[in-house]
Structure 1
Amino acid sequence: MPYALKSSGVGLGLLLLVLISVITDYSVNLIIIGGALSNTMTYQEMVRVAYGKPGYILITVMQAVYPFIAMVSYNVIIGDTLTKIIGRVGGDQVANTVLSDRNFTVFLATVAILIPLSLYKNIAKLTKTSLLSTGIICLILVSITIRAPVYAAQVVPSEYQWTFANSRIPQAIGIMAFAFMCQHNTYLCFHSLQRRSLERWALVVHLAVGFAMLASSLFGLIGFASFATGVQGDILENYCPRDDLINVSRLLFAVTIMLTYPMECFVVREVVENYFFQHPPPLWRHILLTTGIVALAYLVSMTTSCVSIVLEINGVLTAAPLAYILPPLCVMRLQNEPFFRMPNLPMLATAAFGIVVAVSGLIVVAMELAEGVRCSEGSEMPYCWGNSTRLARAYGSQSG
């Protein structure tokens, strides 16, 4: 989120955050309404009823690609965070060993934690881990707030750092769309509710999206205030390796990511099962498919260490169509009434927003890739090298 505010400008970024929150809330409820209109229980089936086999193939591909790329980005973040923690704890003794290698670290996390959690069959089993993740997010927010004045003092002031709007708006929207994207597991969550109803679901969505908007705004503002235009795609990459308060946050964040990871794997697995098999899997196929998905995500994540471009690509390629374009188009089609009528204006506006985001985002990302992706994520920041008295006091070291 701090990187998104850097891309769009702080003022415009916060407005976009509110807009995307409102549209997300609206579209998630549209999906459930579409399910009621089509008498279906999955996003895929709703699109099949609305647009036939071509729509079904499109939603299947997109609904599998989005969470899969999310799994890849989570692996990148796990590698960034855990290697710094291991380096801090082990010091020179692990500096040149396999334990300092990000690929090996992610492999260990995959085998020991990600695969076992992903093997659950029911998303309701993750209720307690999701609650734990939410609590951890609050603790991380407290830690970066404590450190904000210390690191802000290291940033060279710039007259452009607090501009209202910047030119990289499509990238910012792509990142925000990725962050708020939950439409792909809407039905999984809806069917995990006790005493399901549209009213109870709407309340859950309002509370969840409202909390996400508040947390995202705070992370964005505090992170940008700490590092301004030097902020990285993963904000924890901006902090020094010897800052032990942040190292605790890194560990907590890695735990959060590992607890969130299975939800994305659940979606990929369900989409593949629904498309190719369409009946409950035997245990051997469940284990084989889950392990294969997680292993493939691990292999792909080894090809990049730059999480920001991963989020941008996923946001514009899959999140925008899944979240903003398909839900309103499906509901309007299922109503069996003309598209262009007054009651449909909110849905038409939502679909138009998604199309603009997808097209402009694709153009900008293509230009970025053509120029060559450059990021310093995974590298120690220059202000951690010198003698900073404030940084030294902050994390109990004699050198910054």
Structure 2
Amino acid sequence: MNNLPPTERTHILDQNQAQRYILDQEQQPPMQPPMQPPMQAPMQLPQPPLQPPEFMLPPQTQAPAGQQTVTMSQVEGGEGLGDVIPDKETAPLKERSSLAYTSFNFINAIIGSGVIGMPYAMQQAGFGMAVLLFILVGLVTDTSLVLTIKAGRLANADTYQGLVEAGFGKIGFFIQSILQFLYPFISLISYNVIVGDTMTKVLIRVTGVSAESVLAKREFIVATTTLLITLPISLYRNISRLARISLVSVGIIIVVIICMFVRLPEMTAIVAEDPEDWSFAEANIASAIGILSFAFMCHHCSFLVYESLADNTQQRWNKTTHISIAISALLSFLFAIAGYGSFRSYVQGDVFENYCWNDDLMNVCRGLYAFTILLTYPIECFVARDVLETAFFRGHQPQPMFRHAILTVVISIIAMLISLTTDCLGVVLILNGIFCAVPLAYLLPPMCYLKLQEGPLFCRDKWEAWSVILFGSMAILVGSITMFTNLNEVSDCSHGKEMEYCIPEIFNATMSPVEVEEFEE
């Protein structure tokens, strides 16, 4: 076979191998079928828990079409003090807003009870210096808000309290918590003062009761509105729907500004001039800074506004901040011009005190403004209550209704009692502005940024933060000295007394008989 060609030799070998394979298969015993495993009982799957009928389930809310949503919930006694923080498992979906709508909400947060003291701030600083202060405080506040979110992104924090704790630990959290309580608590006092000051004139004009009547006493009005209106509303656990009502506050402020400009020529004609009117600068510049700081303080809600912004990049947040601060500063400045231009050296801390009691147009403005204050009160009460809940009952959650009610009653009653001791809104605004708003707005955010941002402490990227800290430090130092050296002057007010220019007999020498007759009517 070796002499055969290779191709034929390979063919023969393949045939031999095939024959051997067939013989081997015939000699093997037949294969047994594979054994089947014993039958097992089918696996029992866990049954889902029984669900209640549909009519017993709460209604499901869905975001409108085309809007993005983010998981958020209000947490009582959680990590955030008065903030809304994420809850990824059980929280309802919250709508995110466009840049324009977010800016509008931020303006609402900035313009509050502080705007009523803008004419007084202009009178304290002098007209020229007040214009500069509006620009300066606006720019510093804008820079501080930008740094707040920058630092929050560095710390991966979603609340102001979380940011401070990330930067300075428990000590920073403790200091921030104290300021976070004092700021809304003093705001509650200012709200009571405003309601007591404004509603007395409205009731006297509408009902015709005497100014000496118990019904016209500010103490009665403050106590009544606290016990019958603000305290019951503040007992709600979830005030998100109530907060939306505050959207009308900007519209009311615009209406009030228009009415003030309508009254400007008339009030200018009857208010006596003073040589120091329209002076460039006055001695109480620091007091004006305190009032402006109180008015522009909105850092405690900056993270809430940031989380509500759709596509919330740092650049979009910066643009939102610039728009909101610019519009808020403009409205505040117009309010200040209308009030100061009308009364000049006579301006009170509550500018509504300057208008005559028989001015029906301004009585309508008094009522509208008091209405917005009454609806804003529960929001600040919620923040103050949540601070106490976190500070003293952090390990005792969830919060029972009994403790919720006790804290609400204690905060409201103490704020009411303190507000009865003073009727001067100016001193309340200055105190809250200098000792609470300035640290919260101009010290803690830039200090956290310096601590969290990499690089040398005095590098170029940190100059903005240092400038904000310098402004805040000077405001507290100079403001404290000015406050206590001029305490008698800043606490001087004339609530409950008709302004002298509103009594024609006093100003007969400067008014014609026709003007006197028209004013009396």
Q: Do both share a fold (TM > 0.5)?
A: yes
Instruction: Identify which of 4, 10, 23 aligns with 2:140.
Output: 23
Aligned pairs, how many?
395
CA distance in 2, matches of 1:44, 1:70: 19
> How far off is 1:115 after superposition?
2.4
CA distance in 1, matches of 2:374, 2:278: 34
1:104-157 residue CA offsets vs partner (Å, 9 max, x unmatched): 211222233322443344564244312111111111111111111001111222
CA distance in 1, matches of 2:230, 2:516: 35
Q: Any idea what SS the aligned residue of 1:153 has? A: helix
Structure number, greater radius of gyration: 2
CA distance in 2, matches of 1:371, 1:14: 22
Structure 1 gaps, min length 5: none
> How far off is 1:196 after superposition?
4.9
Matched-pair contact (CA < 8 Å) for 1:71–1:261:
yes
> How far off is 1:209 after superposition?
1.9
Bigger CA drift: 272-281 or 24-33? 272-281
Bigger CA drift: 215-224 or 203-212? 203-212
- AA partner of residue 518 (structure 2): R
When residues 391 and 110 of structure 1 are mapped into structure 2, their CA distance, relative to the original with a 3 A threshold, is farther
Instruction: Identify which of 350, 361, 380 aligns with 2:498.
Output: 380
Structure 2 gaps, min length 5: 1-117, 506-510
Identical aligned pairs, as a percentage? 43
> How far off is 1:27 after superposition?
1.5
After TM superposition, the structure 1 = structure 2 runs for residues 95-244 of structure 1, keeping only pairs within 5 Å, are 95-122=211-238, 124-191=240-307, 196-244=312-360
> How far off is 1:300 after superposition?
1.1
Alignment partner, residue 305 of structure 1? 423
Does 2:440 correspond to 1:319?
no
Bigger CA drift: 6-15 or 203-212? 203-212
Matched-pair contact (CA < 8 Å) for 2:141–2:441:
yes
1:74-102 residue CA offsets vs partner (Å, 9 max, x unmatched): 1101000011111111224x544331121
Matched-pair contact (CA < 8 Å) for 1:65–1:318:
yes
Matched-pair contact (CA < 8 Å) for 1:185–1:267:
no
1:370-397 residue CA offsets vs partner (Å, 9 max, x unmatched): 7783222332100111256547536xx4
Does 2:471 correspond to 1:346?
no
CA distance in 1, matches of 2:515, 2:162: 57
- AA partner of residue 153 (structure 2): A
> How far off is 1:32 after superposition?
2.4
The structure showing larger relative contact order (alpha-carbon pairs under 8 Å, at least 6 residues apart) is: 1
> How far off is 1:165 after superposition?
1.6
After TM superposition, the structure 1 = structure 2 runs for residues 248-287 of structure 1, keeping only pairs within 5 Å, are 248-278=364-394, 279-287=397-405
Tell me the TM-score normalised to structure 2 length.
0.71
Matched-pair contact (CA < 8 Å) for 2:272–2:501:
no
Alignment partner, residue 362 of structure 2? 246
CA distance in 1, matches of 2:380, 2:312: 23
Alignment partner, residue 63 of structure 1? 180
The 4+ residue runs of structure 1 with deviation greater than 6 A are none
Matched-pair contact (CA < 8 Å) for 1:238–1:381:
yes
Matched-pair contact (CA < 8 Å) for 2:504–2:516:
no
Alignment partner, residue 393 of structure 1? 518
When residues 201 and 113 of structure 1 are mapped into structure 2, their CA distance, relative to the original with a 3 A threshold, is farther
Give the structure with the larger helix fraction: 1
